[in-house]
Every structure is written in C-alpha cells, then in structure tokens.
Amino acid sequence: MEREALAQLLESVRLGEMDVEEALQRLRELPFEDLGYAKVDHHRALRKNFPEVIFCQGKAPEHVIGIINSIRARSSVVLATRATPGLYAAVAAEVPEAAYHEQAGIIRLGEFKLDPASRGSVLVISAGTADISVAEEAAITAQAAGCQVERLYDVGVAGIHRLLAHLELLDDARVLIVVAGMEGALASVVGGLVDKPVIAVPTSVGYGASFNGLAALLGMLNSYASGLVVVNIDNGFGAGYFAAMLTKM
C-alpha cells in the first residue's frame, strides 16, 4: 500500500467514513503477503516510498504473474526487471495492460508521473550502443520513480568530441549515470567535467580481457574523479534507483 493510499485510509477512519474493523481488514496483509513461493513486501512502499520491484531472472512465469497481481492490487506502479520477451508474452496474456520496455528488459504497469519531490533531471549516458540495454534499465527505473530523465548515448572516449558537444546537457543535469564497458574510462571523464553526483555502471561488454565487466568495474572503482560512486556490473536498476533518491534530497 502506497503512502498516499494509507494516508487516505487513516483519514477515512478519522472522519468516520470507515470503521476500524474495515480498516484492519484492508491492512491485514501488511507488512507482507505470503504467496507460498514468494513473500511480497507490501511494507516496502511505506519504508522506501516505492513498491517492491520484481527481479524476474530465474523465476517461473506463473510466479512473476502472481507477484505482479499482488503488487498491482496495492500500487499504481509495478516494475519487473530482467524480463525476456517470452516472459512478457506470458505476462501480457494474463495482464493485458502490462507494457514492455524491450531494450531495458523491464515489464511495467502504471504510467510515468513526475514526483514533485524530484528536483532536476537524471542524465543517462552510455559509452557505446552496446551499453544501451543497461542504460535503458537505469533510465526506465528512474522514470518509474518519478524523475525527469534525459539520455545521451554512444559518446564514449574513442570519440570524445561526441561527449564534449553536449556539455550543456551535462551541466543541466542534477545527477548523471554513466554506463560503460571495456575499460570503463568514460565515467572518469564525466566525473572530471561536472560538479554533480556521478553514478558509474560497468557493463559486461568487451573483449576477453575485460573479464565480463570486471575490468570496467575496477577501472571505475579506481577513478581519480571525485563525486563518483560505482554500482555492480550491469546493475542499471540500482543506478536508476539511487539516482532517483538523490534527486529527492
């Protein structure tokens, strides 16, 4: 149950429009609902101001559908990450209103709405076109959390003039997310150009010596640029979520 819905419920009790027993019935599944195969954390929206997000990888389609139905009964927004086209087809057959962001691998229910508490925009930058899937996971997550999101893709260090042509866009952003594979150098470059928080996302894109993103991860962790933090390899969701938090502080 979202904060706004809970506040309305309590106000209804205060005004005498709803009795205590009915309110208790409405709240019976807080803090979580046990579906047998999953314990859905409905209290998370109260603690974090954003409902539980479903990580689909490894889950059976019927389990994903069950968790989606549980969350959407109490929330205006549902996100399911790492969703394949095949999984989306199964979900859409049961939940026709579900939307699919294929590049991001995200299933979504509910519309994007700007959160008044979110100040400024999140700029998502990718080093290469091959990094866009992770960048889109970050972008869609931040949008779902109520942020204004801008995108700047394929501006890696192999052609740094492509980035420098958009310095105004960098300056206008409140938080920047930099997504890069190979050696991950773009995050350091951006971190040296701006006075805003930079969230670096290493990707598993690269040749053999990139070790599935480990080279980019270590390069970003060893960055000399100040004001830069690093999330795990391919963790666009974590970056988008953290960026949304920063815009509301």
Provide the residue count of the chain.
Answer: 249
Q: What would you measure as the largest C-alpha separation in the chain, in angstroms? A: 67
What CATH number was assigned to the domain covering residues 121-247? 3.40.50.1970
Domain residue limits, the chain: 3-109, 121-247
Q: What pTM does this model have?
A: 0.86
Percent of the chain with pLDDT over 70: 95
Tell me the average pLDDT of the chain.
91
Q: Nearest Cα to 137, choosing from 246, 128, 127, 126?
A: 126
pLDDT band, very low/low/confident/very high, at 50 (cuts 50, 70, 90): confident
> Is the predicted pLDDT of residue 77 greater than 50, yes or no?
yes
In this structure, the number of other CB atoms found within 10 A of the CB of residue 166 comes to 15
